[in-house]
Amino acid sequence: MKELVKDKLRVKIYDTRVKMGEAAADEISEKIARLLKKKEYLNIIFAAAPSQNEFLSSFSKKAIEWKRINAFHMDEYVGLNAEAPQLFGNYLKSRLFDLVNFREIHYIMDLTGSPEEKCEKYADLLKHYPTDIVILGIGENTHLAFNDPHVADFNDPEIVKVVDLDDKNRHQQVDPSDPACFRSLDEVPTHAITLTIPSLFRSDYAYAIVPGKNKTEAVYHTIHEEIQPHFPSTILREHPNAVLFVDKDSAAKL
């Protein structure tokens, strides 16, 4: 493992995706154990994307006091059928939420009302359960959750909002070989519900897990660009307790 620091962000580089995922699971589970010595329960926000596969596979097997953790997720598509495998809630259900016994699990898709009403209800939940840990991915366009560059706001007054998705983001969701992705661009929703940048940033600890050749440019921009909303992930460099886990492919230009 190699490590570097950029501003406040620690970057850990591993030879393979599997080693990266296992290391992230080890570090996060150890942090959970330490925090549970001080708190009755923890509130954790999870990302849903293929980039999280190796991490979730290892993390779900950890001897964690799951019954003391409330689980949330950071974004969800608008307009898909409740059974759609592409829904992020369904992805997390199959890879983590159904595998262990959480204290509570809060799905965006289970909320009633219009997309805007769902945003208000999820925001109320997040106010009631302040975030201890957020586990993120970074998009090919450097988005965090679904805060694409054209809608990212480092001073967003909202906690959760409805956004339109940019073309690069929507193309990233297409992979006919993966049932959790879409077969064609036409199937990808144009709008989604997302936690805002300040909402994600309020977490006490942030862990970004970003492997793969398709993330090489995003990781480069995260580290080397000026901190600005045009590259949303650059804000991680200002978080006081953030770690970026990458593999040799995504770190190729560092």
CB burial readout 6-24, b (16+ within 10 A) else e = eeebebbbbeebbbbbbbb
Total-model pTM: 0.96
Burial environment of residue 241 by CB neighbours within 10 A (0 to 12, 13 to 18, 19 or more):
middle
Q: What is the pLDDT of residue 121?
A: 99
How large is the C-alpha radius of gyration of the chain? 17
Neighbour tally for 227: CB within 10 Å: 15
Mean pLDDT by 10 residues, the chain (254 residues): 98 99 99 99 98 98 99 98 95 98 98 98 99 98 98 99 96 92 95 99 98 98 99 99 99 98
Q: Which domains does the chain have, with CATH numbers?
A: 2-247 (3.40.50.1360)
Task: For residues 89 and 84, give the distance between their C-alpha atoms in angstroms, rounded to a whole number.
Answer: 10
- CA separation, residue 65 to residues 20, 36, 203, 215 (Å): 23, 8, 20, 33
CB atoms within 10 A of CB 218: 23
Residue-level pLDDT at 16: 99
- Which residues face 4 on adjacent strands? 11
pLDDT at 114: 98
Could you tell me which residues come within 8 angstroms of residue 7 by beta carbon, excluding any fewer than 6 positions away?
Answer: 227, 237, 238
Q: What single DSSP character describes residue 165?
A: P
For 106, residues 6+ apart whose C-beta sits below 8 A from its C-beta are 70, 71, 72, 122, 125, 129
Tokens of 219: 């990781």
What backbone phi and psi angles, to 5 degrees, belong to 46? -110, 150
Model pLDDT, residue 208:
99
User: Cα–Cα distances in Å, from 223 out to 91, 156, 181?
Assistant: 29, 22, 28
Supply φ then ψ for residue 210, to 5 degrees: -140, 80
Give me the pLDDT at residue 180, please.
Answer: 86
Going by C-alpha positions, the residue among 84, 18, 2 that lies closest to residue 54 is 18
Q: CA 146 to CA 197: how far, in whole Å?
A: 9
Q: CA 79 to CA 64: how far, in whole Å?
A: 35
What are the strands of the beta sheet with 69-73, ordered from one edge?
2-6, 9-14, 242-247, 205-209, 133-136, 42-46, 69-73, 104-105
